[in-house]
Each structure stands twice: as C-alpha cells, then as structure tokens.
Structure 1
Amino acid sequence: MDFEYTEAQRDLSGLARELLTDWAGRHPRPDDTGFDARLWGAMARAGLLEAALPEQVGGGYGLLEQCGVLIEIGRTVAPAPYATSIAVVAAVLAEFGDDAQVRRWLRPMLRGEGTLAPALARDFASFEAERDEKSWRVRGSQSVVAAGAFADGYLVEARIGANSVLLLVDREAEGVTVTRQHAVNGTDAALLELDAVLIPRAAAISAPEAPAWARRRAAVAVCAHQLGVLERALEMTAEYARTRKQFDKPIGAFQAVRQRLADAYIDVEAVRLTLWQAAWRESHGLAAESEIDVAKFWASEAGHRVAHTAVHVHASTGIYLDYPMQRYFTAAKRAEFESGTATAHLRGLGLALDAPV
C-alpha cells in the first residue's frame, strides 16, 4: 500500500484548501444551517464536485481524491454537504445509476444546483418497500438524516423482504414529510417520514450490492472529514499552548499539557493511518469491511479524546461562541456517532474475526 498523495489528490486538495480557507476567512461565524449555497456553487464552478467522480460522469478520479477534499472541508468545518451529496449519493449514481438517473439526479447536483442526502439503513430506523410492475411504495421514518433539512431529494435504503434496495425520492413527492432537527453542531439534520410514497420503478438503483457499497462509502467519508476536523483542532491547540502563558511560562511547557498533546497527536495519526488503509482497499475493489470498522472505531474514539483535549487545554476559551474551537469540538462529537458508533463497528469487527475461515 502506498499512502502518499497522488498528483490528482495533491491538486484537488490544494484547490479545496485555497477555496475553503478563503471562504472561512470571510465567514468566521457561519450560521447553523450546515449549507451555504454560494460556497456550494463555488465548489461546483471550481470542479470540486465533479472531479473526484469516475470518468463516466466527467470526472476521472475516485474515493481517494474524495477523501482529500473531505479532509480540507473538515479543516475549515465548512457548511458543504460533500460527505453526503458527493461521497455517497453522487458516487452511488456514478457507479450504479443508469443514464436517466444520472441526467435527472446527478448532473444538476454537480452543477451546484441542489443537494441529495442519503438515508441508509440503521438498526433503530428503517424504511419498508413494496413493489408492483410499475412502481415502489415506501413507508417508514428515519431521524437525524444528515444534510436532510435542505436536501432536494433522498437516496433511501428500504427493506424488501430479507434484502434492501436504494430508491431515489423527490422531496416534493406526495407523502414525504421533512422536519428540521437541531443536532449537536447545527440544524442541517432532518426527520424524514415517508407515508406510502409512490416511487417509479425507474427511480430504483437496480444493483443488489449498491446498499452495502453506499454504507461503506458513507463510513469512509465520515472518517475523512473527521481527520480534517481533528488535524486542525490539534494544530490550533498546539499553537494556543505555545502562546498562552501561566506563571510566566507557556502552558505547553507543563508536563501534563505536553502529555495530552502528545496523546492527541498519536490519536490523529491513528485516524490518518486507518482511514487511508480502509480507503485504499475500498478504492481498489478489495474486501475492506474490517478495515472500515477499524477506521470508524478510531474516528469515533480518538475523535472523542482529541476533541476533549482541545477544549480542556483551551480552558473556558474553548467553549466561547466567538472562538472557533467550539465549532471543531461539536463537529468532532457529531462525527463520533455518524455512520455508526465505535461500539457498533467493534461488533462488526468481532463478527468478522469470529467468522469461520
């Protein structure tokens, strides 16, 4: 495995950092909606939404390049739903969608004209589907659908018997109810309720492997975004420890502070290593379920520790709304639970280890 950035990753990451750093400098206190339409449009015009997708939809890259962009979004905690709209929904459509689905759902999003949010299966929330010769009918609800409050449509995973299917659902379809929810770091989440919603057969992703593929991509995307959040939070905390003085010494000179920062550094590097291992295997079509479980475990556990270290070292400054650290803390806490908790992924890893050879 070679974890060095490719030339394409360096180019896309550099472009994303330049664009997002400029945006962050002009918006030190963004609102809590989780979406800035002007930023999303700027990313589309810069080619960031399209470039990290396969060649068949005009891009030429893939998951590794998406992770590079997601790290930069995490570093600025920018309100751009790339992890949901591009890394999951757009990637699914590029991989499994037919020409009509690409024209109807994917192309407008790549032009920055809207967003789509995934509502993938969880243990505690699900959708049920029935089908006939012409359509699907879907019932159910799911809470805290990330980026769902402002999405124009949804990629819903619904159970049908012992299997599941991915369905594209228009927000304006009859029977669809979207209720904005306030999550830990904003109001982008939504309760999505489908009351016997009629969906054309053409809106289904036919590939049977697509639901599991989408769940894997969603977990990797969360890990990449979390790496950017933690990386930048640690940089800010180290700089604060160098400049903040107590007893005429920088607080970073005290052993307890140094030890916490050293532990945080190790945690961030563990998130980095496990992310790239999982992303590399997934991008090369290799079995990656266990590696993704390990990566998400570290993103959750290390994310918890690093976020708390950052706030503790900053003391009361770390939770001031006028100081940016609180945004990194809440973003890290949100990512801790997105796409499954550490415990859920440890259980998945345990099942894999216990499986007969």
Structure 2
Amino acid sequence: MALATTGTLSEEQRAIRDLVREFAVEEIRPTARESDATETFPEAVWDGLADLDLTGLTTPERYGGFDVDRLTYSVVNEEVAYGQLAVATALSVHCLATSCIAEFGGERLKERYLPDMAAGRPVGMFALSEPGAGSNPAEMTTVARREGDEYVITGEKQWITNGERGEVCIVFARTDPDDPGSVTQFLVPKSAGIEVGPKEHKLGLRASDTTALTFDEVKIPAENRLTPEGKGLSAAFHILTGGRIGIAAQAVGLSQAALDEAVAYANQREQFDGPIADIQAVRHKLADMATRVHASRLLVYEAARQADAGADPRIAASMAKYFASEAAVDVCNEAVQVHGGYGYTTDFPVERFYRDAKILTIYEGTSEIQKEIIARGVVD
C-alpha cells in the first residue's frame, strides 16, 4: 500500500489514479509476463490506454487530447508503470512526441497529426541520441540540408523507443554540419523513408521495441521544421525536463509494485514456524524499501508542483529522476532478496522488475548527468 500522499492530490487526480491503477492491475499485469518473454508489445493494452484518453495526455483539448497538468501526468505514469514499465515507457515517449508537436509545431502540423496521435495512432518516437552522441547530444552528426521548400536529412539515431511500431518521429539534426549550435527539431513521418534497424535484445524492458533509425537523404517539407534553426537543443532540454519527472514517476510505480510483491510474499512464506514477515531482518528490509518509495514519490510530486506553478523545475526534476531511479534499482533488488531463490525465477514478477529497473538510471539522462545538473544548482 502506498503511504498517505493523497492529500497532495485533488479529488479528480485521485479518481484518475484509481482508474489507471485498476487498468494496470486488470489489463496490463496479465499480459506483462508473456510480452516480456516474447519481446512483443501488447497492442491490446495500447488500445485500452487510448480508450482511456491516456495516449492524449499531453495533447491540447482542442486537438482531442487530455492536456493534463504535470502532477496528473506523473500520477498516470506511476500507475501505468505499476502494471508494466515497458508500457509506461512507450506511452511516455509517445507523449514526448505529441508535446513537441503541440508546443513547437505550426497549426497545419498540429491539425494533421495531433488528433490521431491523441487517439493512439500513429505512435510517436523521439530521436535525439546517436551511436556517438548520447549524453552530449551537441556532438550529433545527423544533418538536415535545406533544399528549396524541403529539408533533406541524413544520419543515424540510436536507442529509439517505439522504433518498430512508431510512425511519427521527432528528429534532431544539425542544419550546418560544422556547427554544433545549429541543432534543429523536425517532424519526420516514417513513410518519408526512415529505415528501421533490427530490434535490440535488452536486459529488461523487453516488451518495448528499441531500434536504430537511419535517414538516407530523407526528404520532408520545410513546414515540418518544428523550431527555428539552431533552437533544437534548447527545445529538447525543455521537453526532457518534463519527461524526467515522468520517468521518476515510473520509477516510483515500479518500486511500489516491487514493494507490494515483497510484502505479500513475506506474509505468506513460512520459515522457522511463522511467516518471514515476522523475522526482523526481513521487516527491516521492507521498512527501508517503503521509505525509499515514499521519499521518491514526494520528490516527484514536488518537481511536478514546481512545473505546474510555472517555476523552473530543472533541479527538482533531476533530483527526482536521480533519486527515484536509483531507489528503484535498490528496491527491486531487495524484493528479489525477500523472495530468496524464487525471486530468481520467472515464476514471480520481481525478477522482471529487477531487470527493468536498471534502465531508469540510464535513459532520458543518466544518473551521472542528473547529478551534474543538481550540482550546477548547488555549486555554480
């Protein structure tokens, strides 16, 4: 059970939380083991998310979206991740894409793409990282060359969530190959000629399709440029700040799921003439886990509140993302330990939680990058 943080949520937010938790338990959880084992995304679950309007979380209402505040967005991310982190990751990346179009796109692009994306399809992608440019995207080599009323994009992107199933890609590229400050943001439909690489076989998050994307002289209309030339990185960092709050919320959801599984197992598993929940060493593990989950949730809520209040949430977002993601790794590790040998088998979901948790410390900014951002706010 989550500790009492409900006082920070409105009645509407609590209702949304409860609705999404019910969907996570009844619809996402039952498919999680098979989709992880087969490395196949559960499309029926995605359609269910769309039916709940969750694929339009960051789309303005005038284009058919839900257009929620950052705290509500965090609550939804937490609860979807409680069901399965791979599904929450796919949803958050889709929402990154719709956020970029909604905030930076022209009216024609918004009208063309946002209503359908809010309804769930086409699925969005976000292409910033490259094989040689991960934590420092200014080193990217993808180039967008202007030719009359078109841009011609050439380059390669790596670690793209929804790479197989996505159809609309937010792409970052230099408009001057020799100028790292010329990074610009574009909307590129897959139908323009994007080549999709083989699906990555990963430690965790196996149901989420992750691929490379290759752009070989891919032509798009000039109106598909989302930012002025040279303003792409600042736009990316702005969008990713909100995205990091969402990732931190996902870490909370995964941690809560691991804690709940550990508590349930400790209460029913008997050793030494009683449930192992009566053993002090186990009880202290559960106490540490619960404290980390609760602290992580409070950091997420604080970052979300700052964003909703119009303050600069960068430091709070990095604190939440750093702490909650590292806590998720520790909490899932301890959940496996509470289960003992059974925790190392696929008979219990904690082994999947453990494998999934690690990516939280890596994508959308590693823990090391988050600590550097926090340090700038403390030292500089």
| TM-score, scaled relative to structure 1 | 0.90
Work out whether residues 332 and 350 of structure 2, in 8 Å CA contact, stay in contact via their aligned partners in 1.
Answer: no
Deviations 1:257-298 (A, max 9, x none): 222221111111121111111122123321111111111110
2:94 equivalent among 75, 85, 95: 85
User: Residue 302 in 1 paired to residue 327 in 2?
Assistant: yes
Q: 2:267 aligned to 232, 235, 242, which one?
A: 242
Distance (Å, rounded) in 2 between the aligned partners of 1:11 and 1:348 = 34
- Asked if residue 338 in structure 1 is aligned to residue 338 in structure 2, the reply is no
Contact 1:3 1:276 in 2 (8 A): no
1:3 Cα deviation (Å)? 6.7
User: 1:136 and 2:151 equivalent?
Assistant: yes
- 1:225 and 1:310 map into 2 onto residues whose CA distance is 17
The alpha carbon displacement at 1:124 in A equals 5.8
- What SS does the corresponding residue of 2:192 show, helix, strand or coil? coil
The percentage of counterpart residues that share the same residue type is 25
Question: Can you give the 5+ residue segments of structure 1 that lack an aligned partner in the other structure?
Answer: none
Gaps of 5+ in 2: 1-5
Distance of aligned partners of 1:127 and 1:308 in 2 relative to their CA distance in 1, 3 Å threshold: same
Which position in structure 1 is the counterpart of 2:45?
39
Aligned partners of 2:63, 2:263: CA distance in 1, in Å?
A: 42
1:279 aligned partner: 304
Which residue of the other structure, out of 101, 104, 108, is the alignment partner of 1:96? 104
Matched residue of 1:286: which SS?
Answer: coil
2:135–2:366 contact (8 Å) kept in structure 1: no
1:296 and 1:3 mapped to 2: Cα distance?
A: 22
Query: What one-letter code is carried by the residue in structure 1 that aligns with 2:334?
Result: T
Summarize the Cα distance change of 1:188–1:25 in structure 2 as closer, same or farther, 3 Å threshold: closer
Q: Is the 8 Å Cα contact of residues 77 and 327 (structure 1) preserved in structure 2? A: no
- Tell me which protein shows more strand as a share of its residues: 1
Q: Distance in 2 between matches of 1:300 and 1:326?
A: 17
| Whole-angstrom distance in 2 between the partners of 1:83 and 1:230 | 18
Superimposed CA distance per residue, residues 289-311 of structure 1 (whole angstroms, 9 cap, x where no aligned partner): 11111111102221121111111
Deviation at 1:252, TM superposition (A): 2.1
2:190 equivalent in structure 1: 171
Letter in 1 for 2:70: L
1:230–1:168 Cα change, 3 Å: same
Cα distance in 2 for residues equivalent to 1:223 and 1:84: 14
Name the CA distance, whole Å, in 1 between partners of 2:40 and 2:304.
25
The alpha-carbon distance between structure 1 residues 105 and 330, as it changes in their structure 2 partners (threshold 3 A), is farther
Please give the residue correspondences for 1:17-32 in structure 2 after superposition, counting only pairs within 5 Å: 17-24=21-28, 26-27=30-31, 29-32=33-36
> SS at the partner of 2:8?
coil
TM-score between the two structures when normalised by the length of structure 2: 0.85
Equivalent pair of 2:303/2:316 in contact (CA under 8 Å): yes
